[in-house]
Structure 1
Amino acid sequence: MDTSARIMIVGAGVVGCSTAYHLARAGVTDVLVVDQGPLFATGGSSSHAPGLVFQTNASELLTKLAAYTVERFSAEELDGRRCFHQVGGIEVAATEARWDDLERKRGLAAAWGVPAELIGPNEVHDRIPQLDPSRIHGGLYVPTDGIAKPVRAAEAMAREATRRGVRFRGNTEVIGFDVTGGRVRAVRTTDGSVEVETVLCCAGIWGPKIGSLAGVSIPVQPVAHQYAVTGPTADLGASKAAGGDEVTQPLLRHQDCSMYFRQIHDRWGIGSYQHRVLPVQAADLAPSAPRGGGAEAPSDGGAWKGMSSVHPFTPQDFKQPWDDACELLPALGRAEIAEGMNGLMLFTADGMPVLGPSREIDNFWVAEAVWITHSAGVGRAMSEWLTEGSPRLDLRAADLRRFEEFAHSSSYVAERSAQSFREVYDVIHPQQPPARPRPLRTTPFHEREEQLGAVFLEANGWERPHWYDCNEHLVAGREIVAPGEWAGRYFSPIVAAEHLAARERVAMFDMTSLARAEVSGRGALELLQRLTTNQLDRKPGYVTYTLMLEHTGGIRADITVARLSETEFQVGCNGPRDIAWLRRHADETTAVRDITGGTCCIGLWGPKARDVLAPLADEDVSHEAFRFFRAKRLHVGEVPVTALRLSYVGELGWELYTSAEFGRRLWDLLAAQGTEHGIFPAGRGAFNGMRLEKGYRAWGGDMSSEHDPDEAGLAFAVKPDKGDFVGRDALLRRREQPVRRRLCCLRIDDGTVLMGSEPVFAGSGRTTAGFTTSAGYGHSAGASLAYAWIPAELAEPGTELRVSYFDRRHPATVVADPVFDPDMSRMRC
């Protein structure tokens, strides 16, 4: 047994083998991969998964990971046998709502670069003759989808990794970790102890157990998923006995009934998410114990018996799915279920994987809750992250550190993961809030907001008012442009009225959910200067908008930094991931404290904001005394407040922060003082629309680590001459080449209100030029707006484009950015 390794990968399933393969190709070969089961049918989900790869997803990240998985597996063979059957995939619609969803999904496919087309019922029948075309409206056909052979692919990649020097050890269980100084020094296994520099956990359903041995929380939930295989059927031409291909027909997904189908020679494999949620406690899992081994995934049944990752089939849960299957594929009425299983797989609170370094241990990394569909893509991304310091794809939505402490609780993980299972094939609106557990995080203003008729949506556990029913009177006399049914799913005319009234009067916005950190100590300035792009070495009382970059020069985050004293800063962040980044780079001279939960914030914005604040403040808040992008500590009545003169909505005003116990008093003081000035509470709907027409970028929506500041229109926030900072050299190298793409503002000329992620076309052709990001209606500008990534040569104002929405193209024009108050005079008065 090896006694040392630069990187130890725990788990030799398809994710672990893919990571090892890509590490080896990158020249990192001092890698040891261990698994408690035999190589390479190790007994986890890679060993029992049916292998369907449908690439198109509302997530750009998941679609890109899937597209690379198709590319990688299509290029792999093992002893002359293919690792991927590229037979195509069809998702069918049995309802109008699903057909609408497929029209949207066709746009997503185009936006993310996946070839797809909508086809009629008879065209679906031509490709899958067993299907009753009278039952469907049509389907979305993706010719590059197919069936992966995950065990075969894992062994093929492992062979190449081995050839390059990587070591694999089966039947080797991890039983503990030696951790000192916040790092794993050695991994204890049943074959001895191994000194390591880095550990990557790819143990699948056993991941939480492995993590707990090191003191690392991995917030995932094993859940059983039903899969059945029929006996031989006469309607499938290719048979195993005749030596035909295992699968020749396209994959079939019947999402209206939460089911999928695949051919297995002359039999059908049928999977269902229609059944009750069947969670399993990670602590109750037995070690892997598959029968035999070899390179064949048991998609055709039998070989999965004896695996602890497979639970007994529950026929009562399959009764309705079987009836639904026979209705769609009438030939199944002459078949019977030969065998089935309830195979375990991992779910998370938001349906995304958990990837990257852990919060607790510096060198303990995770790649869990990864479907076969995304496995090779995740392996490549993890290799890049481990060797280059950051992955080339933006993994923010899958970063393990996106979850705050409450989201690691067993009750939260169980509740939300169960919901993720139930919603696998549901039509989910981008703004749709979870049903449970709510309310979870409420601000000190919550009682007042409820009294005022707030309609709440949810973000990161926070209850956030989207609009207030008490403002219905503001609608009278205004011409309100309402979005269509889909874009307007969570819209009220009150949203538009609040938007317009805030530009006329003054409104209070609950901004408490915005993450913030206190960075303090004698090393605070040096830390922030090293991690950010703008000049922060300014006098106390200044606020600076700045960026944090990856080592590649891509935008890791945008933040605001208020210098409150020589050694104390308040940093406005995008979430816990940013705070974790600050902590990861801080030394003993600097403290980084998350102050979000103990504080609250009101955005007091509008032309009459000063009229409300001035009589209450014990400091001069005139423009001359309290200028734009400045900070002051003052009292509002009795309430101690940190006031930042910022405005994310493009109006005069302040962000007013105080500790949570003073929150309700702050609200009441402002509300009472503002009565004569027409003050009112406004929700996130108005906030988002005002932000959009003001041209303020939203990190994670409009830009990410795949974009640099110049492309995103944020070059003003970069000061290379201030000295070295993370990403500086890479950004300067990028600047040696012309900008290839830009984030631009589009006006949708026929007034159609978009949702974001729609493909953009330069002409009447089928090739996409880009895709939209933030979208909505600019009620003050009187126009439907969307930001979009497009080639630099198309970015000039006046360029005519087309945007596809529900598979229909709408005229759009590039316009100057921002469309509202471009000289910023309203904020600087």
Structure 2
Amino acid sequence: MSRPRLVIVGAGIVGCALADELTERGWTDVTVVDQGPLFAAGGSSSHAPGLVFQTNPSKTMTEFAAYTVRKYTALGERCFRQVGGLEVATTPERWTDLHRKQGWAESWGVEARLLDPAGCAELWPLLDRDKVLGGFHVPSDGLATAVACGEAQAARATERGARFLAGHTVVGIEARGGRVTGVAVVTSGEYRTIPADVVVCAAGFWGPSIGRMAGLTVPLLPLAHQYARSGPLAAKGEGPILRHQDRDLYFRWHGDRVGIGSYAHRPMPVTQDEIGPKSTTMPSVQAFTEEDFDPSWRDAVELLPALAESKYEDGINGIFSFTPDGFPLIGEAPQLDGFWLAEAVWVTHSAGVARALAEVLVTGRSEIDLHECELSRFEQAQLSPAFIEERGKQNFVEVYDVIHPLQPMESPRPLRTSPFHPRQRELGAYFLEAAGWERPHWFEANVPLLERLVRRRRDEFADVPEEAKGMAAEPFLGVSQRGEWASRHWSPVAAAEAHATREGVALYDMTPLKRIEVSGPGSAAFLQRMTTNNVDRKPGSVTYTLLLDAKGGIRSDLTVARLAEDRFQIGANGNLDLDWLTRHAPGAVRVHDLTPGTCCVGVWGPRARELVQGLTDMDLSHENFRYFGCKSGYVGHVPVLALRVSYVGELGWELYTGADMGLKLWDTLWEPGLAIAGGRAAFNSLRLEKGYRLWGVDMTTEHNPYEAGLGFAVKEGKDFIGRDALTTEITRKLVPLVCTEVVMGKEPVRHAGRTVGHVTSASYGHTVRRPIAYAWLPIELAEPGTHVDISYFGRRVPAEVAAEPLYDPGMEKIRR
């Protein structure tokens, strides 16, 4: 069988690892080119301190790092020393966060433990133990010698047929008919082209320059990061890598010296012009700025007093790559087939990313979910040079910060706003951000609703004994079931909004939901092939369906509204869905992003029909407008497309219109005085009560429809991508848990003393009056009534598997 001709740009640790992974899988026509020498080629790999800490809030990033540890450990001590990793807390907030990190490690299968100050000092005798509250120790973390790792992997790849070419400067990416054909290089003053069917850019911080040659924006910002060594010390150690994140510092031993890395200084962005090839110095290293490092040295001496006997030396400002969201860039260019990226990858994740990309290239999909890292995840609004720089610098500043999962970036905001935004601000919306969109999470205008709800709850429980009430009415609003972390970026106002939705009617801004139009001859057949359910129904119908990959993993879930014979509107999860559909669409089918020019408001609640029917020319009776149907008409003066669907489990419609008419639509719906505005906090509570899954959180490509509880969206006897790989025989299942406390998500779940799964989504169910968590569990534990424990910041939270949905199992509310 013929193999593609593949060229990798960049012989750093990522390029070498990718060549190794690809040749191991039988792709032997592999050429790796680099403008520098082999293998200290001049990129970040040439100076990287080589820290490999595995634990990360992202399961994907943890698995990348864990594979890197396994692979590089097998290469020998010249490449990797498994000295362990130790993070110390000097503040109560950090000590709390280390308990959260211990939960991630347990969820993702990394052996770790929390230590008291004495245990930390035993591993790092230089520590001032009086400054330390505790530590987090991972014995399998370690130090990778990046150049040696690259060379060792390159040697294996060379034995299998790969070529590594030094002194080859890439000057162009050649293409024809929308597909890459080769790489133009200059070597020893001569220009030549290396033919290629596939090109992978693994050029590190030079990635934006190579991307421009292919007509691609690479959202990566090179930033300088300081590293220095102490003078010789009386002690000589080989202890674990040490992180003092409260001061943005890390430490490692170099014989009788201690290396010190700092993220505490100002962001130092570096332009592509400033990191061109240099004949006398390493391109990845800039002049050390002592004035930036001096405060960090003082902080280092405070934690490690023995450093005071020396002075720092051998300092560098070394360049690393940062992206707007802190994740790598993996994937194929949207406008140039065959041109791929493996960019913004640190040594920590290098082998894991290389394996994942090799799997994608050879088999069409990675065994590890990549949605957080895929190149096409960014919206057009997130690709401006100003955005890339500002968010990249902020990620540098926050690299060691304690970050709440809902904590948004502060700037640039607002970037994207719905037409309803002015009214939301008038109502006192508390905004968080996602994909650049400002999204209200609750409204201060609803405080009176909360006050009424509290009075009502107190009246209901007036005869309940005091000892059973807990904290007055608070248990019945979910307040006392929330710890300090679960209370951040949340308000009890969400309880009032949830109750108002269940009992009246609320308006939810659904504008950030990605909207895609698929049209043209053959569009129905195309969508039938792409999705799991039957979307080839009569115009006016709406279908819930899934996108799968070749192995049957869930790429996304969609609602598909058939508007005409050859025109469909799709409610999708984001830009990845747009990219996936665009790549697969035949020539006659047009795939178009409707989102920027349109808006959507969800009108949901038992009084939704009462509100909208008096404003529209459409017949909204259940007999004439069935659940999962769609119609076009007017609401007041506003032309709308109405879909009778609901993500909160109540009667209602999604109303779509052009962005120019959005504010008029909101005002028209608001004027009768029946509706309140609802935010994302209430929305999340309501959807969990109904068991509605959130793609990317509750399920990913690592799960199939049957284990995710979405088998109903798979049409029997229908051919679609991933059909042949599907099986109904499952070993795990996504199930709801009712708990005694609101958790955050990603916590480990235990049964009989062992870790058996992890939490995905969590919230308080204001209707069922219980904290809810969805979790992946082995099939033998997935039966209702099974008792488990959630480990939450090191505490045991009892939970029980429940039957789903928790609210309205007969679907009576939504179909009335």
TM, length-normalised to structure 1:
0.94
Q: State the distance in 1 between where 2:531 and 2:163 align.
A: 40
Q: State the distance in 2 between where 1:88 and 1:740 align.
A: 33
Contact 1:229–1:269, Cα closer than 8 Å, also in 2: yes
SS of the residue corresponding to residue 444 of structure 1 reads coil
Contact 2:224–2:319, Cα closer than 8 Å, also in 1: yes
SS of the residue corresponding to residue 205 of structure 1 reads helix
Match of 1:370 in 2: 345
What does 1:56-71 align with in structure 2 at a 5 Å threshold? 56-71=55-70
Describe the superposition over 1:385-425 as per-residue Cα deviations: whole angstroms up to 9, x where unpaired: 11111111110001110001121110000000010000000
Deviation at 1:103, TM superposition (A): 0.6
Describe the superposition over 1:544-577 as per-residue Cα deviations: whole angstroms up to 9, x where unpaired: 0000000011001101100000000000110011
Correspondence 1:814 to 2:814: no
Deviation at 1:5, TM superposition (A): 6.4
Describe the superposition over 1:782-819 as per-residue Cα deviations: whole angstroms up to 9, x where unpaired: 10110001111100000010100011111111000111
Match of 1:770 in 2: 757
Query: Which of 736, 744, 761 in structure 1 is aligned with 2:735?
Result: 744
Amino acid at match of 2:366: P
Contact 1:227–1:269, Cα closer than 8 Å, also in 2: yes
Over 3 Å counting, the alpha-carbon distance change for 1:425 and 1:802 in structure 2 is same
Q: State the distance in 1 between where 2:268 and 2:618 align.
A: 60
Match of 1:228 in 2: 228
SS of the residue corresponding to residue 17 of structure 1 reads helix
Match of 2:504 in 1: 505
Contact 1:221–1:282, Cα closer than 8 Å, also in 2: no
Match of 2:439 in 1: 464
Query: Which of 354, 358, 373 in structure 2 is aligned with 1:383?
Result: 358
Query: Which of 472, 478, 481 in structure 1 is aligned with 2:478?
Result: 481
Q: State the distance in 2 between where 1:641 and 1:181 align.
A: 40
Q: State the distance in 1 between where 2:224 and 2:669 align.
A: 52
Amino acid at match of 1:159: A
SS of the residue corresponding to residue 398 of structure 1 reads coil
Deviation at 1:48, TM superposition (A): 0.3
Q: State the distance in 2 between where 1:485 and 1:264 align.
A: 41
Correspondence 1:584 to 2:611: no
What does 1:588-607 align with in structure 2 at a 5 Å threshold? 588-607=587-606
Deviation at 1:452, TM superposition (A): 1.1
What does 1:553-572 align with in structure 2 at a 5 Å threshold? 553-572=552-571
Contact 1:44–1:288, Cα closer than 8 Å, also in 2: no
SS of the residue corresponding to residue 73 of structure 1 reads helix
Q: State the distance in 2 between where 1:177 and 1:367 align.
A: 16
Match of 2:256 in 1: 266
Q: State the distance in 2 between where 1:35 and 1:720 align.
A: 51
Deviation at 1:284, TM superposition (A): 3.1
Moved over 4 A (4+): none
Match of 2:466 in 1: none
Q: Which moved more, 1:280-289 or 1:547-556?
A: 280-289
Match of 1:355 in 2: 330
Q: State the distance in 1 between where 2:394 and 2:698 align.
A: 28
Match of 1:727 in 2: 722
Amino acid at match of 2:763: G
Match of 1:240 in 2: none
Contact 1:720–1:728, Cα closer than 8 Å, also in 2: no
Contact 2:4–2:27, Cα closer than 8 Å, also in 1: no
Amino acid at match of 2:793: F
Q: CA RMSD in A?
A: 1.1
Deviation at 1:288, TM superposition (A): 5.7
SS of the residue corresponding to residue 535 of structure 1 reads coil
Contact 2:478–2:771, Cα closer than 8 Å, also in 1: no
Amino acid at match of 2:204: G
Q: State the distance in 1 between where 2:214 and 2:122 align.
A: 54
The count of aligned residue pairs is 786
Query: Which of 394, 399, 406 in structure 1 is aligned with 2:374?
Result: 399
Correspondence 1:638 to 2:634: no
Q: State the distance in 2 between where 1:739 and 1:227 align.
A: 49
Amino acid at match of 2:21: H
Match of 1:41 in 2: 40
Over 3 Å counting, the alpha-carbon distance change for 1:369 and 1:288 in structure 2 is farther
Correspondence 1:136 to 2:132: yes
Q: State the distance in 1 between where 2:244 and 2:485 align.
A: 22
Deviation at 1:360, TM superposition (A): 2.3
Q: State the distance in 1 between where 2:716 and 2:174 align.
A: 42
Match of 1:53 in 2: 52
SS of the residue corresponding to residue 88 of structure 2 reads strand
Which consecutive residues of structure 1, in runs of 5 or more, have no partner in the other structure? 238-247, 292-305
Match of 1:312 in 2: 287
Amino acid at match of 1:203: A
SS of the residue corresponding to residue 769 of structure 1 reads strand
Contact 1:527–1:586, Cα closer than 8 Å, also in 2: yes
What does 1:474-553 align with in structure 2 at a 5 Å threshold? 474-476=449-451, 477-478=453-454, 479=473, 480-482=477-479, 483-553=482-552
Contact 1:74–1:82, Cα closer than 8 Å, also in 2: no
Deviation at 1:542, TM superposition (A): 0.5
Amino acid at match of 1:148: A
Q: State the distance in 2 between where 1:484 and 1:125 align.
A: 31
Q: State the distance in 2 between where 1:123 and 1:790 align.
A: 34
Match of 1:14 in 2: 13
Describe the superposition over 1:468-518 as per-residue Cα deviations: whole angstroms up to 9, x where unpaired: 111100112334221221011011111111011110000000110000101
Contact 1:52–1:147, Cα closer than 8 Å, also in 2: yes
Deviation at 1:672, TM superposition (A): 1.1
Query: Which of 776, 788, 793 in structure 2 is aligned with 1:801?
Result: 788
Contact 2:378–2:575, Cα closer than 8 Å, also in 1: yes
Q: State the distance in 2 between where 1:717 and 1:651 align.
A: 20
Amino acid at match of 1:612: L
SS of the residue corresponding to residue 336 of structure 1 reads coil
Q: State the distance in 1 between where 2:181 and 2:22 align.
A: 21
Contact 1:9–1:199, Cα closer than 8 Å, also in 2: yes
Contact 1:100–1:806, Cα closer than 8 Å, also in 2: yes
SS of the residue corresponding to residue 396 of structure 1 reads coil
Q: State the distance in 1 between where 2:583 and 2:342 align.
A: 19
Match of 1:755 in 2: 744
Match of 1:431 in 2: 406
SS of the residue corresponding to residue 197 of structure 2 reads strand
SS of the residue corresponding to residue 626 of structure 1 reads coil
SS of the residue corresponding to residue 196 of structure 2 reads strand
Q: State the distance in 1 between where 2:182 and 2:524 align.
A: 36
Correspondence 1:614 to 2:609: no
Q: State the distance in 2 between where 1:428 and 1:139 align.
A: 18
Match of 2:277 in 1: 287
Correspondence 1:27 to 2:26: yes
Describe the superposition over 1:98-137 as per-residue Cα deviations: whole angstroms up to 9, x where unpaired: 0000011001100010001000001110111111100010
Q: State the distance in 1 between where 2:381 and 2:195 align.
A: 33
Deviation at 1:185, TM superposition (A): 1.3
Deviation at 1:82, TM superposition (A): 2.6
Q: State the distance in 1 between where 2:526 and 2:339 align.
A: 24
Contact 1:36–1:288, Cα closer than 8 Å, also in 2: no
What does 1:127-166 align with in structure 2 at a 5 Å threshold? 127-166=123-162
Amino acid at match of 1:594: D
SS of the residue corresponding to residue 443 of structure 1 reads coil
